[in-house]
A and B are shown apart, each in its own frame.
Chain A
Amino acid sequence: MKDTEGKIHPLQAHKKMQALLDANYRDMEQAHATGKKIAWVTGQAPTDILLAADILPAYPENHAALCGARRLSTVFCQIAETHDYLPDLCSYARNNLGFCLSERRDLAGAALPPPDILMAVSMCNTHVKWWEALSRHYRVPLLLLETPFVHDSLSPDDIKRAFRYAENQLKEMVTFLEEFCHRPYDYDRLQQSIANSSKAAKLYAEFLSMAKHVPSPITSFDAFLHLAPMMNLRGYPEAVDYYQLLLDEVKARVRESFSAVGEERYRLYWDNIPVWSRLGWLARKFATYGACAVAAFYPWLWVEAFGRLNPERPLESIAESLVLYYQNKGTASRIDFPARLVKEFQVDGMVAQVSVTCKALVPDQLVIAKEVQRVTGVPMVIIEGDMVDERLFFEAEVERQIDDFISVLAARKHRLT
């Protein structure tokens, strides 16, 4: 059955992205020399608020993913463990704390200069604890946005109270930043930044939707890789321009009916966070079978968080977007979205990857996967892995599970045709 070579086809835009990210990391390196302040922020932090105060955001999670891709994470995780962070803790956090606690800057792969201030959102409780640890380590203030959880049984009024609470905290942050930066807050710049973030998110969404085409011009692994500008460049015009460029390239692929995996035989849904240290291996493994991961909810999280921002209602729309964020919602209402992706992207099979050290997404992951399978009738395989701790990825086992799963899909296809 293995008649393709497992060849993957990187997008041309990738080079441009790399150049932009390199420039961004250079800006960070030079920030302190040029009198700019740096904030370490969580993936979905409302960074537009910082950009308007001329503070440069840096992303320890993206840095961890980068370390993972360069296969440096396990070393950093081990360093964190020698400082009494238990091995069960989130591997992004261990990667970053290990990086902070070690002197081995030669390993880092990219600069992450020490923060002057920190910003986190409570929707992932790990972030809160991890950022508290950073605040102790660097002795810098932490701006925490608490987004009360949106349980399924809450009334619209109950949810509005959560919006108000979030918005009031954002106002407090703005007041704090005026004092912290010794200058009046620039609301015009906030609006510009929000407009850029929301435009970039919408273009990224359009890029993700290109995978609805049969055959798909991109894989979810492309989607994961091209997530980086949604973090590091969010709020800047460069991100908008970049996603336009990326989208144009993919549209050209569609016009040529280009398939990202050679002959496309199976369309897969990838559940949960990417295994950053084995992204290439997984992409090639799937491509070997002509299996294309066409959808995943993970990249859409950034579309959810920033696509609905409205420059006319800056703080309100940030509060609403982050309270109603997918990960912050009750389990029952988290089933529709992946189910819709499975249907709209014409998925043949689901691969649910349990990131064993993620306490934010794992608690209801198996239940959601089970329910999505029930609603859509699409078969599923569960594999175990981790974001960046390579010790938790058992290649032989995962390979066997993928092989077996593809046989199931093949038999199913045969039966259906």
Chain B
Amino acid sequence: MTGFEFDRVASDPLAWLRKWKQDHDGKIIGCLPMYTPEELVAAAGMLPVELLGTTKPMALVNAYLHPNLCHAMRSNFELALSGEFDFLDGLIFCDICDQTKRLGNLWEMYHRASFSFHLRLPKRLDTKEAKAFYQDELRRFRAALERFSGNKVSDEALNQSIVLYNQVRKLISQLYDLRRRKPYLFSATEVDTIIAAAMFMPKEKFKQDLEQYLETKKATSAPVRNRPRLLICGNPCESTEPRLLEIIEQAGGRIVDDYVYCGAMYLFPPVSEEDDPITALVQAYMDSHPCPTKHNPKKSWAKYIVRLAKQSDVNGVIVLLPKYCEIYAFDYPELKEELGTAGIPHLMLETDHSGATARLRTRVETFMEMLQR
């Protein structure tokens, strides 16, 4: 619990958004994770929100999708089929992997929204050809957003949007610094709750709340207890199970840093405020931190995690791999090797949001015992 609006947003984002829509009469655009340049959607005067799926039991989706597909894909489609997303005015589907591409296709076939856009994010981040392609793609995106919203996305509006998002990024960086320095100030799910809220709230409002929250937080104190410092990583495209975070805390661990989607992966890196705004968005994407969904021989996700673990001075790393997410699973052997070479203990957990936590609890507790020995 943060004691801020974040709690209400994160506990039931869709209910919060429906209420927001009633009060503000604005257009809400659902973005299928990951990597939508939200700045453009916001500059068109619409509210971009991330589609984080659901942990509720699924039924409708089984008429269309085989059970060996990832939870992010299945649960988002379940929500679409059940009408839970009907309040959204439009949808953005990012080309991330074979599953997410197909999800967008099926959504359009069986539950079409009045506006939907497939953003062909390049996979290759190692060639200027990809950059040129993405530049064209963002121009196409901008034009589509203008047509649908009826608002012109001027360079000025886009620059303003970039500035606002960068301010949010700066505050989130402060939040992460504080957690690294004084992790005992935070409960298990606190940062997760704040980032989840960032994915739904208008960024202006979020920024104000986060400023206040940080002020308050900096002034608080709590007993410094010596607990194993942990980094969690992995878990692309969806939220981190709050129950899992609680289990880690109950077992005596303390998360001091992360590199998960509902965490440090969202919104980073910052976008240049000097360049032409589209060029700046493209460059930020090309320079983004390593992610197994992208191809860049010069950047290694595994090595990046090791660097992060060292920087944050952690005692161990918990790697979260969503069941049936092939892309992340393929990079796990390399991560295991790099962590081993660096002498950093780790625990790999396959997550499926099933709510079956007994096995996870045992494994987390064993890992904590090992770290405390």
Report B285-307 residues with CB < 8 Å from chain A CB: 292, 295, 297
Given contacts A152-B108, A161-B136, A331-B106, contact A128 B333 (CB under 8 A): no
Q: What chain B residues lie within 8 Å of A158 (beta carbons)?
A: 140
Q: What chain A residues lie within 8 Å of B66 (beta carbons)?
A: 354, 356, 362-363, 365-366
Q: What chain B residues lie within 8 Å of A142 (beta carbons)?
A: 297
Among the 9-residue stretches A130-138, A261-269, A394-402, the one with 4 or more Cβ atoms under 8 Å from chain B is A130-138
Q: Is the CB of B326 within 8 A of A146?
A: no
Q: What chain B residues lie within 8 Å of A135 (beta carbons)?
A: 297
Q: Is A360 an interface residue, CB under 8 A from the partner?
A: yes
Q: Is the CB of A165 within 8 A of B295?
A: no
Cα–Cα, bound, A316→B273 (Å): 38
Q: Is A88 an interface residue, CB under 8 A from the partner?
A: yes
Cα–Cα, bound, A93→B329 (Å): 12
Report B337-373 residues with CB < 8 Å from chain A CB: 350
Q: Is the CB of B68 within 8 A of A356?
A: yes
Q: Is A114 an interface residue, CB under 8 A from the partner?
A: no
Cα–Cα, bound, A122→B133 (Å): 15
Q: Is the CB of A88 within 8 A of B68?
A: yes
Report A310-365 residues with CB < 8 Å from chain B CB: 330-332, 354, 356-357, 359-360, 362-365
Cα–Cα, bound, A83→B323 (Å): 18
Given contacts A125-B327, A332-B105, contact A149 B132 (CB under 8 A): no
Q: Is A168 an interface residue, CB under 8 A from the partner?
A: yes
State how many residues of chain B have any CB contact under 8 Å with chain A: 48
Report A180-215 residues with CB < 8 Å from chain B CB: none
Task: Looking at the assembled complex, report how far the CB atom of B161 sits from the nearest CB atom of chain A, in whole angstroms.
Answer: 24
> Which of B64, B66, B137, B327 is most buried by chain A, counting CB atoms within 10 A of its CB?
B66
Q: Is the CB of B129 within 8 A of A172?
A: yes
Q: Is the CB of A165 within 8 A of B129?
A: yes
Q: Is A90 an interface residue, CB under 8 A from the partner?
A: yes
Q: Is the CB of A331 within 8 A of B332?
A: no
Closest A residue to B326 using CB positions: A359
Q: Is the CB of A366 within 8 A of B130?
A: no
Q: What chain B residues lie within 8 Å of A165 (beta carbons)?
A: 122, 129-130, 132-133
Q: Is the CB of A169 within 8 A of B129?
A: yes
Q: Is A113 an interface residue, CB under 8 A from the partner?
A: no
Among the 9-residue stretches B9-17, B93-101, B198-206, B249-257, the one with 4 or more Cβ atoms under 8 Å from chain A is B93-101
Q: Is the CB of B333 within 8 A of A359?
A: no
Q: Is B324 an interface residue, CB under 8 A from the partner?
A: yes
Q: Is B217 an interface residue, CB under 8 A from the partner?
A: no
Given contacts A83-B333, A152-B108, A363-B65, contact A126 B297 (CB under 8 A): no
Q: Is the CB of A129 within 8 A of B330?
A: yes
Q: What chain B residues lie within 8 Å of A366 (beta carbons)?
A: 64-66
Q: Is the CB of B334 within 8 A of A359?
A: no
Cα–Cα, bound, A260→B351 (Å): 48
Q: What chain B residues lie within 8 Å of A356 (beta carbons)?
A: 66, 68
Contact of A364 among B95, B106, B331 (CB under 8 A): B106
Say whether chain B's binding surface is mostly helix, strand, loop, or mixed.
helix
Cα–Cα, bound, A125→B123 (Å): 9
Question: How does the 8 Å CB contact mask read for A158-170 relative to B, with 1 for contact and 0 for none?
Answer: 1001101100110
> Which of A124, A125, A132 is most buried by chain B, counting CB atoms within 10 A of its CB?
A125
Q: Is the CB of A129 within 8 A of B118?
A: no
Q: Is the CB of A359 within 8 A of B336?
A: no
Q: Is B22 an interface residue, CB under 8 A from the partner?
A: no
> Which of B108, B133, B327 is most buried by chain A, counting CB atoms within 10 A of its CB?
B133
Cα–Cα, bound, A166→B72 (Å): 29
Q: What chain B residues lie within 8 Å of A162 (beta carbons)?
A: 120, 133
Q: Is the CB of A149 within 8 A of B120?
A: yes
Report B313-337 residues with CB < 8 Å from chain A CB: 321, 323-324, 326-327, 329-334, 336
Q: Is A14 an interface residue, CB under 8 A from the partner?
A: no
Cα–Cα, bound, A128→B292 (Å): 10
Q: Is B224 an interface residue, CB under 8 A from the partner?
A: no
Q: What chain A residues lie within 8 Å of B137 (beta carbons)?
A: 161
Cα–Cα, bound, A152→B105 (Å): 8
Task: Looking at the assembled complex, report how far the CB atom of B147 sits from the nearest CB atom of chain A, in whole angstroms.
Answer: 13
Given contacts A148-B95, A149-B101, A366-B66, contact A130 B108 (CB under 8 A): no
Q: Is the CB of B326 within 8 A of A151?
A: no
Q: Is the CB of A86 within 8 A of B105?
A: no
Q: Is the CB of A129 within 8 A of B292?
A: yes
Q: What chain B residues lie within 8 Å of A360 (beta carbons)?
A: 98
Q: Is the CB of A84 within 8 A of B129?
A: no
Task: Looking at the assembled complex, report how far the CB atom of B53 sits from the nearest CB atom of chain A, in whole angstroms.
Answer: 16
Q: Is B102 an interface residue, CB under 8 A from the partner?
A: yes
Q: Is the CB of B106 within 8 A of A367?
A: yes
Cα–Cα, bound, A154→B95 (Å): 13
Q: What chain A residues lie within 8 Å of B295 (beta carbons)?
A: 122, 128, 132, 144, 146
Q: Is the CB of A88 within 8 A of B324?
A: yes
Q: Is the CB of A86 within 8 A of B321?
A: yes
Q: Is A85 an interface residue, CB under 8 A from the partner?
A: yes
Q: What chain B residues lie within 8 Å of A357 (beta carbons)?
A: 68
Given contacts A136-B334, A148-B120, A363-B103, contact A88 B326 (CB under 8 A): yes
Cα–Cα, bound, A149→B99 (Å): 12
> Which of B103, B105, B130 is most buried by chain A, counting CB atoms within 10 A of its CB?
B105
Q: Is B127 an interface residue, CB under 8 A from the partner?
A: yes
Cα–Cα, bound, A364→B109 (Å): 11
Contact of A151 among B68, B97, B104 (CB under 8 A): B104
Q: Is the CB of B108 within 8 A of A332?
A: yes
Contact of A359 among B99, B108, B297, B332 (CB under 8 A): B99
Q: Is the CB of B329 within 8 A of A362?
A: no
Cα–Cα, bound, A99→B350 (Å): 25
Q: What chain A residues lie within 8 Å of B99 (beta carbons)?
A: 359, 363
Contact of B105 among A93, A124, A169, A364 (CB under 8 A): A364
Cα–Cα, bound, A133→B329 (Å): 11
Q: Is B73 an interface residue, CB under 8 A from the partner?
A: yes
Subset of 14 A-B contacts with CB under 8 Å? A84-B333, A85-B332, A86-B329, A88-B323, A122-B124, A125-B97, A132-B297, A146-B123, A146-B124, A152-B105, A158-B140, A168-B129, A332-B105, A359-B98
For the complex of A and B, the 10 pairs showing the least CB-CB separation, nearest first, are: A129-B330, A331-B105, A363-B102, A165-B133, A151-B118, A84-B333, A168-B129, A148-B120, A364-B102, A125-B98
20 further A-B pairs in the complex, CB-CB below 8 A; given A153-B108, A360-B98: A84-B332, A85-B329, A122-B295, A125-B327, A132-B295, A133-B334, A146-B122, A146-B124, A153-B116, A164-B133, A165-B122, A165-B133, A172-B127, A331-B102, A331-B106, A332-B108, A362-B66, A363-B98, A364-B106, A365-B66
Using CB atoms and an 8 Å cutoff, list the residues of chain B in contact with chain A.
Answer: 64-66, 68-69, 73, 95, 97-99, 101-106, 108-109, 116, 118, 120, 122-124, 127, 129-130, 132-133, 136-137, 140, 292, 295, 297, 321, 323-324, 326-327, 329-334, 336, 350
